[in-house]
Structure 1
Amino acid sequence: MNASVENQAGLVEVRPGIHVWVQPDGSWWLNNAGAVTAGTTQLVVDTCATATRARHFLDALGAATGQTPKLAVNTHQHGDHTYGNSVLPATTVLIGQEQMREGLRTDPLIDGCPPFWSPVPDWGDVERRLPDITVTDALTVHVGDRRVELRHPGGPAHTTGDLVAWVPDARVLFTGDLVFAGLTPLVFMGSVTGALAVLDWLAAFEPEVLVPGHGPVLTGDDITRVLDEHRRYYHLVLRAGADGVERGLSPLDAARGVDLGEFADWADRERIVLNLHRYYVDHDGSDMDLIAAFMDAVAYNGGPLPTRV
């Protein structure tokens, strides 16, 4: 791993007792994580893709707060938010949505990453660590005298097992990958229409600080701006999918015909292929072929997908 790239990651206190670990540039496998600390209790929100990155996060958090996490929550199953779970203290109680737990239980990538990315990520000495407690719809966690509300959006969006962590007294919302700030959203394991619908649900919290799964922390008008960008992007995917189905195109050929317009400069633009695969399987009621979808994304990209993890 490139040390100079890793050193760009940093811990930001967005409200007293609420920290965010931001990993630029937020592209493949470079997620945000965070924590809520009050009294003698600390709740961690997500970990990181590799053991090294997860340890850097937890070391920085411990230095800033003097605490070790008693609780942790995963916002969804993907490895950039979960593979570092095993780096948490053994005594930390881990929480996740029911379908998130099952997704991580059967995730093959933790055992060996296929060469869809370059360089191929090395997770380090991580082990599959699953949630101890599962949530169906909602759970309130008490962190000292502070409430943290864990909510499922009610249907598939980024994945089928998404959770947000809402801190109402501070009006801070950790969205996981329901929001990507300034780079291409990914919904191939969820739903395009569900991801679009969830944006109104997120806005209804009226957060003052929104922590996306990837990209910079958002405040003020930037929250509305980024949610609106997501709406326009998902409408683009829906139009491209409908057009591709009508013309009998494959998801890859449909993607190649899309003018990404304002989204052309976003990182990970090849996700248009993965998102169209999701549109197609939802349209015809088939099962997602993840290998075929990633092979098409690599073909669209002209080679393996770049990562700096």
Structure 2
Amino acid sequence: MTDTPDTNSAPPPTADAAELQELLPGIHAWVQPDGTWWVNNAGAVAGDDGVLVIDTCATAARTRRFLDAVDTATGGAPVRLAVNTHQHGDHTYGNSLLPSTTVIVGHSRMREGLQADPIIDGCPPLWNPVPDWGPVARRLPDISAGSALTLHVAGRRIELLHPGRPAHTTGDLIAWLPEERVLFSGDLVFAGLTPLVFMGSVDGALAAVDWLESLQPDVVVPGHGPVLTGTGITRVLDEHRRYYRLILDTAQDGLSRGLTPLQAARQVDLGEFTGWADAERIVLNLHRVYADHAGRDLDVIAAFGNAIAWLGRPMHTSV
């Protein structure tokens, strides 16, 4: 197995390291270092008539900090709309902290996934420390989107678009502002750390990279990691392509030699991706390819157990 960096060697960032960055007037990115497990980015589009929030956060404390920052930046404008880019708890558990009058939009499969998610009721000891969500409750989208839906906030058009196939999950949405060329990608993009696609499709995630690039965004707010502009967008998208091809090639080799996903992961050289945080996701991603090859559902318990076995300890989080 390729050695992985000791992510516990430095003090983890605290919630107050997060920052609301104004990308353009009224368009904000909420960026939470260090972007590892459960520590996501979010966003807001504001005008005189209210605010659209793009995702929430995993915990009540982090979500309150985000919403307080948006409230300060917008002069207390009401949060009228919210979008969930996908079902995972780091982007959705804070939904219940939104005002009761806020209308939440999510893909139909995202809504189904959050409704069935057991982790909001208590996180298993797969991570260290075990996350404590605080006083959150399951709150589902009020509106289910399909392949596309257009929202209008303060004269701005925000296009909610599905990639057309499973990618990071089966119910991904991006929030695309075509006139401003600002893209909130959700977890179709991880900037500088290991992508995760075990609840979607590696082939689909690879295809989604080309789809995102075809939009020609000037600014990309990834689901995790720093905001991207200019050549940084091309660099990160190309890294995704190479990583997904590494996963597919490793899976093909492992299947041809009768290796399990864990055995295949232990033999692969991560190369340029060795220094990425959350490197154990290679095991989860390989489980996804193996399950798709066999035409069966992914065994989530086995996948996470193998990821911890590969890493040699519970997975790290700074949440």
With structure 1 as the length reference, what TM-score do the two structures score? 0.98
The C-alpha deviation readout for 1:94-151, integer Å capped at 9, x for no partner, is 0000000000000010001000000000000000000000111000001021100000
Equivalent residue for 1:45?
54
Q: Report the secondary structure of 1:176's partner residue.
A: strand
Deviation at 1:4, TM superposition (A): 5.9
- Choose the corresponding residue for 2:270, options 255, 260, 273: 260
- Choose the corresponding residue for 1:304, options 302, 311, 314: 314
- Choose the corresponding residue for 1:62, options 71, 80, 83: 71
- Choose the corresponding residue for 1:84, options 84, 88, 94: 94
Q: Does 1:96 align with 2:109?
A: no
Larger RCO: 1 or 2 (CA < 8 Å, sep 6+): 2
Deviation at 1:3, TM superposition (A): 9.6
- Preserved CA contact (<8 Å) 2:12 2:34: no
Equivalent residue for 1:280?
290
The C-alpha deviation readout for 1:174-213, integer Å capped at 9, x for no partner, is 0000000000000000000000001110011110000000
Q: Does 1:131 align with 2:122?
A: no
Give distance in 2, aligned partners of 1:147 and 1:9.
27
Q: Percent of counterpart pairs with the same letter?
A: 68
Give distance in 2, aligned partners of 1:6 and 1:85.
18
Give distance in 2, aligned partners of 1:177 and 1:18.
19
Equivalent residue for 1:152?
162
Q: Report the secondary structure of 2:14's partner residue.
A: helix
Give distance in 2, aligned partners of 1:124 and 1:269.
28
- Preserved CA contact (<8 Å) 1:39 1:145: no
Equivalent residue for 2:26?
17
Give distance in 1, aligned partners of 2:179 and 2:289.
38
Give distance in 1, aligned partners of 2:318 and 2:36.
8
- Preserved CA contact (<8 Å) 2:84 2:173: yes
Deviation at 1:237, TM superposition (A): 0.1
Q: Structure 2: which amino acid aligns with 1:20?
A: A
Equivalent residue for 1:163?
173
Q: Does 1:239 align with 2:249?
A: yes
Q: Does 1:6 align with 2:11?
A: no
Q: Does 1:142 align with 2:152?
A: yes
Equivalent residue for 2:219?
209
Structure 1, unaligned runs of 5 or more: none
Q: Report the secondary structure of 2:137's partner residue.
A: coil
- Preserved CA contact (<8 Å) 2:57 2:93: yes
Q: Structure 2: which amino acid aligns with 1:254?
A: A
Deviation at 1:302, TM superposition (A): 0.3
Q: Structure 2: which amino acid aligns with 1:188?
A: F
With structure 2 as the length reference, what TM-score do the two structures score? 0.95
Q: Report the secondary structure of 1:287's partner residue.
A: coil
- Preserved CA contact (<8 Å) 1:157 1:195: yes
Q: Report the secondary structure of 2:79's partner residue.
A: coil
Deviation at 1:39, TM superposition (A): 2.4
> How many residues are paired up?
308
The C-alpha deviation readout for 1:153-185, integer Å capped at 9, x for no partner, is 100000000000001121100000000000000
RMSD: 1.0
